[in-house]
Amino acid sequence: MKKLFIITSYLGFFIVGGLTFTYFSTTEAASDLKKISVSQDPINYYVDKVEKVPPEGQAGFNYQGTIYVPMRFIAESLGEEVTWDGKTKSVYIGDVPKFIALKDVKPIGSDEDHFFHNPSSVIISTGEK
């Protein structure tokens, strides 16, 4: 009986703790939201004199004198590929750059003192051709 009480106590603690964490996480995320008023007048899109129509539900809008347009639609209309990196919250149009982690960078040569005092003269390599 005592073992059951301990297990249910721990279970209750984790449930209450999880709900509290979820509540505060949601509240913090919701506080970043901002209501704005926009004008959704019809916008005509032309690329090299050819009219382009965005997919349903992807209309542009006017907010405080600035026209906002659907980026993927515009980029793909220009023949570019669009890539979204949710981890870094980055949008890439066209080629995605190749990032090199610092752990993959290897100095060429063995003079570490030279590397720290004159880094502009050090050539680095990832070992890739």
Q: What is the mean pLDDT of the chain?
A: 75
Q: Are residues 49 and 80 in the same domain?
A: yes
Q: How many domains does the chain have?
A: 3
How confident is the model at residue 13, as a pLDDT? 60
- Both 78 and 111 in one domain: the answer is no
- Cα distances from 87 to residues 39, 90, 97, in angstroms, run 32, 8, 15
When comparing pLDDT for 23 and 105, which is higher? Answer: 105
92 or 16, which is more confident = 92
Tens digit of each residue's pLDDT (9 = 90 or more) over 27-64:
555 678 899 888 888 899 999 999 999 999 888 999 99
- Give me the pLDDT at residue 91, please: 92
Same domain, 52 and 89: yes
Alpha carbons 93 and 86: distance in angstroms, whole number: 15
Residue 72: which domain range?
45-93
